[in-house]
Structure 1
Amino acid sequence: MRVVIAEDNVLLSTGLELLLGRAGFQIAAVAEDADAFLTAVREHRPDVTIVDVRLPPSFRDEGIRAALQARRERPGLPVLVLSQYVEQQYAAELLATTGGGVGYLLKDRVSRVEEFVDALRRVAAGGTAMDPEVIAQLVQRAGDPIAVLTAREREVLGLMAQGHDNTAIGVQLVITDNAVHKHIGNVFAKLGLAVTDSGHRRVLAVLAYLNAAGRTASG
């Protein structure tokens, strides 16, 4: 599985190369700025990418904007954002794009190598990997449209947004598969989303809904 990394911190990028190499990934390229990242994606056509939000020259939002550009050029390109910061506007836009895997993890909150590798594999396979803090900030930005949900439904939605399937949700909440299915049906019904949406695409639909609600509230 080929990976392109966009990270200007040499120690971190070297560490990622080593740990991913040991996990069986092939590092196709490591880019230190947005232009080099886009060039590498076009040349190597990776299976998944890892992108920092802030890259040279201004260290503001070049990385995540480059990720969006890469997905426009190659729809469905799996992108895992790995950063110290939550760039809410572009994060919501990235998560609302259709097709392919997306993830957003915070560097300071990645506590286990195995969890990071699992998240990267999940994104590469078309799924999602979301840090709960990122979800919380996006929900806050959207004016909390999920206020209509019960406490249990919020828990289920949060686990869905982290990329967990129904079985994993049931295990974490200690409830049956039927109960999980019922809660998910209630979530989609209350948010006005199609109950037939399945897999990780339903997570993107929820995040897209939150993003749309945030634009409405701010407008």
Structure 2
Amino acid sequence: MSESAAPTRVVVVEDQPLFRSMLELTLGATPGVRVVASVGTVKEGLAALRPGAADVAVLDIDLPDGNGIALGVTLRRNQPGLGILLLSAHDAMDLLLDLPPDVAAGWSYLSKTSSTSTETLVTAIRAAAAGRTTLDPALLDRMAPRAGSAVSRLTDRQYAVLRLLAQGLSNAGIGEALKITEKSVQNHINGVYATLGIDADPSRNPRVTAALRLLEETGRA
């Protein structure tokens, strides 16, 4: 991000004071990210996340007066451009598959216990701000394609590209991770879309659809 670019504005809704403070400190020290509010309940979250206040909401799933998923759905229906990053102490990544279709884009999920690195957190926030979906990389490491699924028909390289795409990486980031060109990355992504039957419907983000298909068609190895 250039110095002249506006920072990604984040509101944190997390009821555990210690973890909330950790998020504030980590994000506050990250260039290009600004925490505009940090609260602990659904009620406070609704007040802090008024339209135009933030680019991304970081929401704990378990809150004392409700849950982060319902809060996220409410927010997104009023603010279609708001990115959502869900956090949970449990493996609840499959909950992304149950999101209403009209709000499913731009949601990400990280486990508090497996993915607490600054790099992973910031990648997920920036992906959510851009309308992409990020799945917890540590949880993805434990997954394998289900037999007979479309994902199981991908080549090894296509599967590697899809996993990195699902972790919120851009084409440039995927290319850097795999030591291949961005053109090669896009060619592999096109192959993934073809194998998974994902079309170029402008009303749906194909990267989001691909990430959710990966989640849907894999299980614990």
Q: Which residue of 1 aligns with 2:208?
A: 204
Closer/same/farther in 2, CA of residues 161 and 35 from structure 1, 3 Å limit? same
Q: Which runs of 5+ in 1 are unaligned?
A: 215-219
Q: Is the 8 A contact 1:145 1:210 kept in 2?
A: no
1:52 maps to 2:60:
yes
What's the CA shift string for 1:110-156, capped at 9, x where partnerless? 35324423432332233333213455789879x84412222222111
Alpha-carbon distance in 1 for matches of 2:72, 2:197:
29
CA distance in 1, matches of 2:142, 2:188: 23
Aligned match for 1:190, one of 166, 183, 195: 195
Residue 13 of structure 1: how far off its partner (Å): 0.9
Give the partner amino acid of 1:125: A
Contact 2:145 2:152 in 1 (8 A): no
Residue 36 of structure 1 corresponds to 44
Q: Report percent identity of matched pairs.
A: 34
Structure 2 CA distance, aligned partners of 1:95 and 1:114? 29
Q: Which amino acid aligns with 1:202?
A: P
Given the alignment of the two structures, is residue 65 of structure 1 paired with residue 79 of structure 2, yes or no? Answer: no
Deviations 1:11-53 (A, max 9, x none): 1112222222233544333232223222321377322111111
From the superposition, tell whether residues 104 and 203 of structure 1 become closer, same or farther in structure 2 (CA, over 3 Å).
same
Alignment of 1:109-128 (within 5 A): 109-128=114-133
Using structure 2 for the length normalisation, give the TM-score: 0.75
More strand by share: 2
Secondary structure of the residue aligned to 1:76 is coil
What does residue 30 of structure 2 align with?
23
Listed one character per residue, the Cα deviations across residues 56-78 of structure 1 (whole Å, up to 9, x for unaligned) are: 157xxx11221122112221211
Q: Which residue of structure 1 aligns with residue 185 of structure 2?
A: 180
What RMSD in Å do the two structures reach over aligned CA positions? 3.5
Q: Structure 1 residues 137, 96: closer, same or farther in 2, change over 3 A?
A: farther
Q: Distance in 2 between matches of 1:88 and 1:111?
A: 15
Any conservation in 2 of the 1:65–1:90 contact (CA below 8 Å)? Answer: no
Q: Which runs of 5+ in 2 are unaligned?
A: 1-7
Q: What is the DSSP-based 3-state SS (H/G/I as helix, E as strand, rest coil) of the residue aligned with 1:68?
A: helix
Which range is displaced more, 17-26 or 92-101? 92-101
**SS of residue paired to 1:121:** helix
Matched residue type, 1:90: L
**More helix, by proportion:** 1
* Structure 1 residues 133 and 69, CA gap change in structure 2 (3 angstroms): farther
> Does the 8 A contact of 1:8 with 1:33 survive in 2?
yes
Instruction: Check 1:9–1:191 CA distance in 2 against 1; reply closer, same or farther (3 A cut).
Output: same
Match in the other structure for 2:10: 3
Deviation at 1:99, TM superposition (A): 7.9
Q: Which amino acid aligns with 2:110?
A: L
Change (3 A) 1:82 1:136: same
Number of residue equivalences:
209
- Secondary structure of 2:57's match? strand
Offset of 1:203 from its aligned partner?
Answer: 1.8
